[in-house]
């Protein structure tokens, strides 16, 4: 499904859990995160894969967390010697 049309396909506050692992570039990933926020029920869980601090998917999640719309936790995905300076995370956010 096209990320641009997803809000037309489902009701707002419909899902208990959404897992985002699509396009990793903006604007698509930001669109996916913001749309997912609106589609989640209050108390719903948004899980996002391949989060890199200050990168595309991190920015909308961080913004929604800073303005108290989400409560977010980050889990390190994998650490190898070659990626120890650019770690990937999985975010686990709860809609407040």
Rg (CA), the chain: 13
> Comparing C-alpha atoms, which of 22, 95, 31 is closest to residue 64?
95
Reduced to 3 states, what is the DSSP secondary structure of residue 41?
strand
pLDDT in tens, 36-94: 999 999 999 999 998 888 888 899 999 999 999 999 999 998 777 776 667 889 999 99
Instruction: Say which CATH number the domain at 46 has.
Output: 3.40.50.150
> Is residue 60 included in any domain, yes or no?
yes
In this structure, the strands spanning 40-51 and 70-78 are unpaired
Domain assignment of residue 2, yes or no: no
What is the SS3 assignment for 72?
Answer: strand
- For 37, the domain range is 7-95
Answer whether residue 1 is part of any domain.
Answer: no
Structurally, the chain folds into a number of domains equal to 1
Q: Is residue 84 part of a domain?
A: yes
């Amino acid at each position: 499904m096209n990320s641009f049309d997803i809000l037309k396909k489902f009701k707002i506050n419909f899902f208990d859990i959404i897992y985002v692992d699509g396009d990793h570039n903006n604007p698509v990933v930001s669109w996916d995160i913001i749309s997912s926020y609106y589609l989640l029920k209050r108390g719903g869980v948004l899980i996002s894969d391949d989060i890199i601090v200050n990168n595309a998917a991190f920015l909308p999640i961080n913004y929604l967390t800073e303005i108290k719309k989400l409560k977010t936790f980050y889990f390190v995905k994998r650490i190898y010697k070659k990626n120890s300076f650019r770690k990937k995370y999985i975010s686990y956010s709860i809609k407040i």
